[in-house]
Structure 1
């Protein structure tokens, strides 16, 4: 009998007439499609060890193109080492696993291999390639399995690098725009390449820093939620929080102002920047293919509007949406509060709060090592679930009858202090007042910061006293001005009278002078312009300056 050999033309597989022709793979789903979650299905399947070994085989090399025979030969070694279950390296089993991965979308079936017999041809001689998104899923899985469970170190040196990168992008962008108007196209091409390199480096640095910060604070949140920390663990946690976290927050706050200034300047030239980088407002760039379809390309970082919006939102807040820097400061404040609460609890109560985490873990180990009969006894002893011995029902009403004598009535328990000394307060030593040095230091530091902010606001008002309309007051300065305006307005009996109010700390005095209708006094600030109708504002800064 002759051999049935499949033919190949233009990489399109042709089957034997008796074998149904394979359908081409469906196009990839659009971005945001929940059907992509099927790519994670092999991680929770009962045969996940085999699927992981197959996916690692496909993702270990570039342009992997493997058939069932090659995969089975590689799985034989994994089965010998005990990495997969026995029998999973059989050829028929490997074919089933590959077909299932193809149905989930992790593998893409390609051309067929030449078959020596009809049996080989009907037993799926298809070669497979790994899908792009499946490659990314497997890479993230391997990273997650290898990552340590402790705190992740934050690369603080990336913040000055981000600041310098934004400054370099501004300089290069200006040079490119100048060269575009010149007669030398070679210089413009070189500057474009430098600009693309700087943008890519900037976004890679920011992605690494943001991911490290999120991982570190996720670990921080898991630690501060525990109530069974002993003094040694609390001391180590205090060192990490008060020293390491403080360094991170200080670095972020120190570099946020120049980074915000650079981002504000670049956002005004964002359209020109994206045009030079070849990006546009869309997320993906379409490109016509030979078959008339559309191939979706994933842009490099920094080539989309959304990339720059995300970078800006990390450092600059908007109304109703605080920045990540503000969230970082708030998370640090909550962590310090939780630490002070734990320290106060340990120093005040004389020991650790009776959290049962360790006890429950010990009990779980006992259950794991016990037999079923011992587990039942252990469960009853641990939780007091013994058989019921009190069969009598309680009375509906335990209150004594009105005609019952007190001699014959039920006895009422009386405390020892009240029965012997006729005193209700409990006897014993008065509990000591716990000293909280960390809380006192935190309160003093917060008071010092408030005084510094108040002094800065007074100095800003003193500098802008002669031209409030042309000033650009900050938020704290405008808040202090509004407080003085409210006090001065409250001291007036009518619109035609004069009012005054002063700051008792700095000596700054604000006076409201009545003016005819139609007169408007304007005060400029970063939050907008404050308009006062019918009054004039005078600031006496003599005492404040002195």
Structure 2
């Protein structure tokens, strides 16, 4: 795109617009929002005015408690209430503020007629004001914004079991019985409870990741903050991701089965008496009581066409947070030649300025920045240690001796003693304790597996035992090294106390092995799993080395 303009002397100059300016020029001709949306957003203006304090005080009088909602008030009454709160505004100013709020949709003039015993009372009370639905919504959002802090908020992951139990109950109701016999109020209460829990889970997840992004993108993250935040990421965030991963498959399965039943459930939940507004329209229902409301929970746990579930994005964001944490770690551990943040030092200096008096602030300024006021200085006679007077010009004096560290590195202070060695004994003890606990948990899981010797067909294990059995199964097949044939068998042994637990895998197309645990059921078709114990002496065992694998590959 080019623009032509007449220059001096009638000449014509041509200049090209950049892509950004071309985009802005195109947007100038297109309305961003319509008049109705612009009028709705005008209800927010009172919160950013210079007189926002007075407007907030007036709106709080209309929204404080439940008694203020069905009442109307005059400007004189509002002025008296503001005076009682310590805000002295005259009647005309309060009237102007109320009219401004009416013009922007926060308040409305009350149609109620007033009784007056004099002309003065009629003139002061002829206009009464009441709260609008838009004004109540906007002021509630303003109050939440004012009360908001940048502190971290925990993710409400405890809602996941409740959501799963509620959806399973709704699925049983839709599949087992006749919906016509279900109480509409009870069904509506169960649906809204599920969606209230889901909304709390989603909102807390958003706020938690917003807090993470604010902290992880900080260049000034210090060592102490890094240590604290590392614990949050490696411990709390991982537990939340594991909780989502554990419940997501079950929630997705229930939601897929429940999707065809949603219209029937919402119709039955709305079979009770409905509220009709003054225009004859049905009032807006609670979340979850309309089929369209279920799209959000479906997208979060199941996904949509061309879009992965939001629960998967939760796990992806956790990985991104780990990468950002490593970036901060590299910055903190960088050498002296790298740029370092002075954020903490500047904050401490600002705190000192805030707490100091007027004279102390001037002294602190001079000490911190070296910007002393002008002074006329006099010099005493030179001594033998400093033969060159301070008033001598450098044109005629000898070259000064500058230390090598100052000349080459710009380092003024003298090198001190080496720093103390870091004591890692507590960390080593903690890691050894973790290793012992992990080893004890593994031995307990293997003992539980050893209780099911023989051919495995229908077996119920804990999550830890199921994990160890699958680990032994994968190690057995990997040690075999090639596809398992009908006449071959693969085996592996692992040390448990003073014995060895042996797993033998053979091919059997007619056999099916089912392993159930709290995480679900695993079915293995076409393989035969056989568990047995093999006695050995205690001196042959190596408990810390894990599994010892052998494979009988059969005839070649």
Mapped pair 1:346 → 2:327: no
* Contact 1:151-1:216 within 8 A present in 2 as well: yes
Question: Hey, what does 1:221 align to over in structure 2?
Answer: 213
Question: Hey, what does 1:274 align to over in structure 2?
Answer: 266
Taking the TM superposition and a 5 Å limit, the aligned residue runs for 1:148-297 are 148-175=149-176, 178=178, 180=180, 188=181, 190=183, 192-278=184-270, 287=276, 289=278, 293-295=279-281, 297=283
Measured after TM superposition, the shift of residue 124 of structure 1 is: 5.6
- Which of these residues, 293, 298, 315, is aligned with residue 301 of structure 2? 315
Taking the TM superposition and a 5 Å limit, the aligned residue runs for 1:59-458 are 59-62=63-66, 63-65=69-71, 66-79=73-86, 84=87, 87-88=88-89, 90-110=90-110, 111-123=112-124, 125-175=126-176, 178=178, 180=180, 188=181, 190=183, 192-278=184-270, 287=276, 289=278, 293-295=279-281, 297-349=283-335, 354-358=340-344, 361=347
* Contact 1:153-1:212 within 8 A present in 2 as well: yes
Mean Cα deviation higher: 319-328 or 163-172: 319-328
**Residues 31, 261 of structure 1: CA spacing in aligned structure 2 closer, same or farther, 3 A cutoff?**
farther
Q: What secondary structure sits across from 2:283 in the alignment?
A: strand
Measured after TM superposition, the shift of residue 307 of structure 1 is: 1.2
Q: What secondary structure sits across from 1:128 in the alignment?
A: strand
Aligned length: 357
* Contact 2:39-2:104 within 8 A present in 1 as well: no
**Residues 352, 247 of structure 1: CA spacing in aligned structure 2 closer, same or farther, 3 A cutoff?**
farther
Q: What secondary structure sits across from 1:33 in the alignment?
A: helix
Question: Hey, what does 1:507 align to over in structure 2?
Answer: 482
For residues 334-384 of structure 1, give each alpha carbon's deviation from its aligned partner in whole angstroms, at most 9, with x where no partner exists. 11111122223323437995124345556767898999xx99xx89x9799
Q: What secondary structure sits across from 1:354 in the alignment?
A: coil
Measured after TM superposition, the shift of residue 267 of structure 1 is: 0.7
Measured after TM superposition, the shift of residue 98 of structure 1 is: 1.3
Mapped pair 1:35 → 2:27: no
Measured after TM superposition, the shift of residue 189 of structure 1 is: 5.1
**RMSD of aligned alpha carbons:** 4.5
* Contact 2:107-2:130 within 8 A present in 1 as well: yes
For residues 6-38 of structure 1, give each alpha carbon's deviation from its aligned partner in whole angstroms, at most 9, with x where no partner exists. xxxxxxxxxxxxxxxxxxxxxxx9998342211
**Residues 127, 257 of structure 1: CA spacing in aligned structure 2 closer, same or farther, 3 A cutoff?**
same
The 2-side partners of 1:232 and 1:243 are apart by: 17
* Contact 2:300-2:309 within 8 A present in 1 as well: yes
The 2-side partners of 1:353 and 1:76 are apart by: 55
* Contact 2:173-2:179 within 8 A present in 1 as well: no
The 1-side partners of 2:36 and 2:479 are apart by: 58
Measured after TM superposition, the shift of residue 136 of structure 1 is: 2.0
Normalised TM-score (structure 1): 0.56
The 2-side partners of 1:287 and 1:545 are apart by: 77
**Residues 253, 545 of structure 1: CA spacing in aligned structure 2 closer, same or farther, 3 A cutoff?**
farther
**Residues 227, 325 of structure 1: CA spacing in aligned structure 2 closer, same or farther, 3 A cutoff?**
same
Measured after TM superposition, the shift of residue 308 of structure 1 is: 0.2
For residues 303-345 of structure 1, give each alpha carbon's deviation from its aligned partner in whole angstroms, at most 9, with x where no partner exists. 2233100111111223432221122111111111111222233
For residues 384-428 of structure 1, give each alpha carbon's deviation from its aligned partner in whole angstroms, at most 9, with x where no partner exists. 9xxxxxxxxxxxxxxxxxxxxxxxxxxxxxxx9xxxxxxxxxxxx
For residues 256-291 of structure 1, give each alpha carbon's deviation from its aligned partner in whole angstroms, at most 9, with x where no partner exists. 111111111111112211211228xxxxx99474xx
The 2-side partners of 1:167 and 1:44 are apart by: 47
Mean Cα deviation higher: 232-241 or 90-99: 90-99
**Residues 313, 506 of structure 1: CA spacing in aligned structure 2 closer, same or farther, 3 A cutoff?**
farther
The 2-side partners of 1:344 and 1:328 are apart by: 25
The 2-side partners of 1:32 and 1:255 are apart by: 43
The 1-side partners of 2:170 and 2:98 are apart by: 47
The 2-side partners of 1:224 and 1:383 are apart by: 34
The 1-side partners of 2:127 and 2:162 are apart by: 49
Measured after TM superposition, the shift of residue 50 of structure 1 is: 1.2
The 2-side partners of 1:343 and 1:225 are apart by: 12
The 1-side partners of 2:370 and 2:175 are apart by: 73
The 2-side partners of 1:297 and 1:351 are apart by: 66
Taking the TM superposition and a 5 Å limit, the aligned residue runs for 1:14-29 are none
Measured after TM superposition, the shift of residue 296 of structure 1 is: 6.1
**Residues 271, 121 of structure 1: CA spacing in aligned structure 2 closer, same or farther, 3 A cutoff?**
same
Question: Hey, what does 2:57 align to over in structure 1?
Answer: 53
* Contact 1:346-1:352 within 8 A present in 2 as well: no
Could you list the runs of 5+ residues in structure 2 that have no partner in the other structure? 1-32, 372-403, 405-426, 432-477, 485-525, 529-549
* Contact 1:101-1:107 within 8 A present in 2 as well: yes
